[in-house]
Amino acid sequence: MGINRYKDLVQSNGNMLSFPKVVISKRDTDKFVLYNSLKTRLDRIAYEIYNDDTYWWVILLANPDYPLEYDIPPNTVIRVPFPIADVVGEINSKISSSKNKS
């Protein structure tokens, strides 16, 4: 399981496509976390929920009102899409679909 966000965006001529806008579907299984930048970070939340700190950016994608982690106000409830295997499949599919349109 995994996402190589950039590998699938390389065209046959070696040019790199922009990362497409990916909207992660809401699931009944999503988790919600009270975010406080003084006490935690997205990579720590990703590790706690996914057991993998490299998925911090997935959490950011699921909260499109905040382009950067530093934009999240203290004490904001953020959505953590879950389970990660389903989310990975969805993101990979949307990246492939976007690449095929280019």
pLDDT at 10: 55
Residue range 31-75, pLDDT digits in tens? 999 999 889 999 999 999 999 999 999 999 999 999 999 999 999
What is the model's pLDDT at position 5?
Answer: 57
> How far is Cα 65 from Cα 85, in angstroms, rounded to an integer?
24
C-alpha to C-alpha distance for 32 and 73, rounded to whole angstroms: 15
pTM: 0.82
Q: How confident is the model at residue 18 (pLDDT cuts 50, 70, 90)?
A: low
pLDDT of residue 62: 97
Distance (Å, rounded) from C-alpha 26 to C-alpha 79? Answer: 9
Q: What is the pLDDT of residue 48?
A: 97
Burial environment of residue 18 by CB neighbours within 10 A (0 to 12, 13 to 18, 19 or more): exposed
Contacts of 15 (CB under 8 A, 6+ apart): none
